[in-house]
Structure 1
Amino acid sequence: MRVLHLPVGRQMIEMCSALRQIGVDATSCHFRERSVPLKPDLCLHLERLNGEERKKRREEFLEEAIERYDVFHFHFGETFFKDRSDLAILKKHGKKLVVQHRGSDVRMLSVARTAGNPHVRVKEGERREERQIRRKLKILSAYIDHAIVADHELRSYIRGFYKKIHMLRQFVTLNKFEPSYPSERNRKPLIVHAPTNPYLKGTEYVQSAIDRLSRKGTPFEYRQIERMTHKEAIRCYREADIIIDQLLQGSFGVFSLEGMALGKPVVCHIRDDLRKTYPPGLPIVSADPDTCYDTLKRLVRNPKARRRIGMESRVYVEKYYDSRKLAEELKQIYLKLS
């Protein structure tokens, strides 16, 4: 089985590495060079070419890929060509296809609000308008029967489009994250927040809670991680006693998992209806804009709880998000493709 993953994503690279460890010939390909901590197996470097040259390179690579690969695993709903006309070609050649939706590529505010979350936000921009998202999903599902999502929050956006939706949790390569549990002796804990997108993360509510804690004279330190490489950021996370992810969405992503893998208590809004859909014992401390201050106050004042939750978090990631174990699940999905 020879599998090609494209066209972008750090998780995509993690998945291919894990698949190769269990004997699957998997290749990751970025279409453009990206400032990510992991490098893909291939990069087309389309950013170096003009319009006509980019079109020709995509066409050439499709021809090469048809000769080499059996399974095509697309991420973020993107394929070889922008109009996705390559899907008909791949189907004609009998290739097996699967698409993995990651988040902002399918999140629609009208759907998100049906869950009763008054704080939820989605990414903005023409490519993320709901009519564009639905149009894309219709085109993809006309040729691709199988889709993958990480959780039930994402499943809600693509329900009704694909014949089969597979649940596959995010991949964490555990040996990259040596745990560093919060000390019970630390009476001035370090709180870390890394807003890759402050609007979506609800960073203004985090800052409001931090300011309120400071005014109350609560002893703590606060660090907001911005404009750092992933390697530099991980060093900062290791020093943290509390990590704050997001307060609005209602589900968690890779940042929360990295914090948990490092043995940290993670604060992130988890919708009540979604919590029961995750593996049992999820140790994430849920908070929203209305409860963030009280949640942080409790954690700041309770070093034993910080350490206990941090240790539970590492065990949880080891049990349910180990990339090698999940690679076996992904291999079984490939075997089900028609």
Structure 2
Amino acid sequence: MKTLSYGGHQFYRHNEYSYFIKFPTLFKKNAATRFLYPLLVLPFYLPLIFKFDTFIFVWSITFLPLNLDLFLLRWLGKRVIIFNCGSEVRYRPIHYRIDTEVLSLPRFKDKAFEATFIKSSLSFLRTFYTQKVQEWSGCQIVSLRDQATFQKKDYFIFQLATQKVVDGPKKTNAVPLIIHAPSNRAIKGTEYVLAAIDMLKQEGLEFDFELIEGQDNAYVLSRLAAADIAVDEPGVWIAKFSSEALAASCVVIGGNNPRYMGFARTDSPVIQFRPDTEYLARTLRRLILDQPERQAVMQASYAYWQNNYSPEAFVSYFEKLLIGQGETFAALPSHKKMLLKFAPKEYQKRLIWLFY
């Protein structure tokens, strides 16, 4: 299998690519010359189109303008798999209202942050076009409901691959260590975590707590390896930090809402993080005081990582994707009506009515 990479983000520096195309700074910054980039790529890209049978794209960027190569590849009978990562297909002004007003997810308490959060979205035209072109061209889409604003077809479930952090299930510490590592305090629910921790300290419970900010991933992993409990965020499912905590055999307090996600699976040991200080304090109190329960959940966490997020599990998952098999989730019932109801502008409603 060969890999053709578009871009030069530092996240991918440690991956080995058979082919690597870097997006030149000139074309990134100069919109007037950006159209030249596909012309430079074509002599290299076209031979590969006829050489390989399966093409995998991560995020929304492909090699031809307007993602037209998706139609070309499908017309040539190629299998095209696209991993949606979030912002490229999520339109927050609509998605946030569906989540909070229809699906009853909690709103942010800070109204100023809520407004900023909603605005921090790619444009309607870009996200709508990206998702619809992927569907219209017949690509195999891998995504999650909390990002698939304009979903119509069934999508395969996006799954992470996470390297092991410890060699096996850990034993609990006599004095449990709790860690919380927010990248954004408002999104990660840090106010609830700190308030709950303060409440438990005032009760005189014996535990250690570390708030990790401004540290690299290596440090976070080292602390996860030592921790009993990792508190992530009040989301609907796990992301990278939670998967690393599972791989470190920690009790994880984070996202576990399979009903929202449209998943059939109900075996996740992750304890749902609710944006409620007293509820979080009760959960942590029980885990601190009940060492056998803490040990049992830590063991279940490691087993869940092995079965779902380990490299070996990812290989099995990916092999199924390559033949068009695997767990899928459907669009919400009456999803088009929701989009039309919550689209903030009239032209958006018209485009949804015509092209959804």
Calculate the TM-score normalised by the size of structure 1.
0.76
Q: Which residue of 1 is the match for residue 200 of structure 2?
A: 213
Aligned partner of residue 84 in structure 1, secondary structure: helix
Which of structures 1 and 2 has the bigger CA Rg? 2
Q: Which residue of 1 is the match for residue 212 of structure 2?
A: 225
Aligned partner of residue 67 in structure 2, secondary structure: coil
User: Which of 172, 176, 188 is matched with 1:201 structurally?
Assistant: 188
Are 1:328 and 2:311 counterparts? no
- Distance in 2 between the 1:177 and 1:58 partners? 44
Q: Which residue of 2 is the match for residue 139 of structure 1?
A: 133
Aligned partner of residue 141 in structure 2, secondary structure: strand
Q: Which residue of 1 is the match for residue 80 of structure 2?
A: 97
Could you report, residue by residue, the CA deviation over 1:209-237 in whole angstroms, capped at 9, with x for unpaired residues?
Answer: 22322333332222222222222221111
Asked if the contact 2:228/2:251 (under 8 Å) is kept, the reply is yes
- Distance in 1 between the 2:239 and 2:130 partners? 23
Asked if the contact 1:193/1:245 (under 8 Å) is kept, the reply is yes
Deviation at 1:35, TM superposition (A): 4.2
Aligned residues: 305
Deviation at 1:255, TM superposition (A): 1.8
Tell me the amino acid that sits aligned with residue 83 of structure 2: Q
Runs of at least 5 residues in structure 1 that lack an aligned partner in the other structure:
1-24
- Over 3 Å counting, the alpha-carbon distance change for 1:35 and 1:278 in structure 2 is same
User: Which of 26, 30, 41 is matched with 1:61 structurally?
Assistant: 41
Are 1:314 and 2:302 counterparts? yes
Calculate the TM-score normalised by the size of structure 2.
0.73
- Over 3 Å counting, the alpha-carbon distance change for 1:280 and 1:225 in structure 2 is same
Q: CA RMSD in A?
A: 3.2
User: Which of 13, 18, 22 is matched with 1:45 structurally?
Assistant: 22
Q: Which residue of 2 is the match for residue 178 of structure 1?
A: 167
Runs of at least 5 residues in structure 2 that lack an aligned partner in the other structure:
109-113, 326-356
| Range moving further from structure 2, 261-270 or 204-213 | 204-213
- Distance in 2 between the 1:37 and 1:207 partners? 35
Asked if the contact 2:236/2:255 (under 8 Å) is kept, the reply is yes
Q: Which residue of 2 is the match for residue 87 of structure 1?
A: 70
User: Which of 246, 252, 267 is matched with 1:266 structurally?
Assistant: 252
Are 1:117 and 2:105 counterparts? yes
- Distance in 1 between the 2:170 and 2:209 partners? 18
Q: Percent identity?
A: 20
- Over 3 Å counting, the alpha-carbon distance change for 1:156 and 1:30 in structure 2 is closer
User: Which of 131, 153, 157 is matched with 1:167 structurally?
Assistant: 157
Deviation at 1:124, TM superposition (A): 4.3
- Distance in 2 between the 1:36 and 1:297 partners? 40
Aligned partner of residue 258 in structure 1, secondary structure: helix
Tell me the amino acid that sits aligned with residue 260 of structure 1: L
- Distance in 1 between the 2:185 and 2:294 partners? 25
Aligned partner of residue 46 in structure 1, secondary structure: coil
User: Which of 228, 235, 241 is matched with 1:255 structurally?
Assistant: 241
Q: Which residue of 1 is the match for residue 347 of structure 2?
A: none
- Distance in 1 between the 2:304 and 2:180 partners? 21
Asked if the contact 1:179/1:314 (under 8 Å) is kept, the reply is yes
